[in-house]
Amino acid sequence: MASRHPKDAPLIIVGAGVFGLGLAYELAAVRGYINVTVLDRFAPPVPDGSSVDVSRVIRAEYADPVYAQLSADALKEWRGEGTPWSKHYNETGFIMLGTESNGYVRKCRAMREQLELGIQEGKEIFEPHETDSKLKELYPDLQADLRGLLSLRNTMGGWADAASAIQGLAERASQAGVSFITGRRGTVTSLEYSGKRVTGVNTASGNTFKADTVILATGSWTNRLVPDMGHNLAAVGQPIGFVQLTPEEAKHLERMPVMQIFDTGMFTFPPTPDTHRLKIARHGYGYATEFEAAGGRAVSSPKLIGNNAITGFLPGDAEQALRDGLRVFFPEFGDRPWCSLRMCWYQDTPDGDFMVDHHPELDGLFFATGGSGHAFKFLPVLGRNVADCFEGNASKELREKWKIHHPSTRNPDVAMGQDGSRGGPPLRRLSVQEQSKL
Domains of the chain: 11-409 (3.50.50.60)
Segment (H or E) for 37: strand 36-39
> In this predicted structure, what is the pLDDT of residue 72?
92
**pLDDT at 406 (0 to 100):** 66
Q: What is the pLDDT of residues 150-208, one digit of tens each?
A: 999 999 999 999 999 999 999 999 999 999 999 999 999 999 999 999 999 999 999 99
pLDDT for position 230: 66
Q: How confident is the model at residue 413 (pLDDT cuts 50, 70, 90)?
A: very low
Q: pTM of the full predicted structure?
A: 0.95
> Does 249 have pLDDT greater than 70?
yes
pLDDT at 122: 72
Length of the chain measured in residues: 438
- Provide the angle, in degrees to the nearest 10, between the axes of the packed helices 103-114 and 65-79: 70
Residue 415: is its pLDDT beyond 80? Answer: no
Instruction: Tell me the per-residue pLDDT of 13-42, one tens digit each, with 9 for 90 and over.
Output: 999 999 999 999 999 999 999 999 999 999
CA proximity to 423, closest of 195, 263, 212:
263
- 125 has which bridge partners? 152
DSSP one-letter string for 196-226: TEEEEEEETTS-EEE-SEEEE--GGGHHHH-
Distance CA 107, CA 214 (A): 38
Average the pLDDT over 262-287 and give the result. Answer: 97
Beta bridge partners of 95: 153, 259
pLDDT > 90? residue 410: no
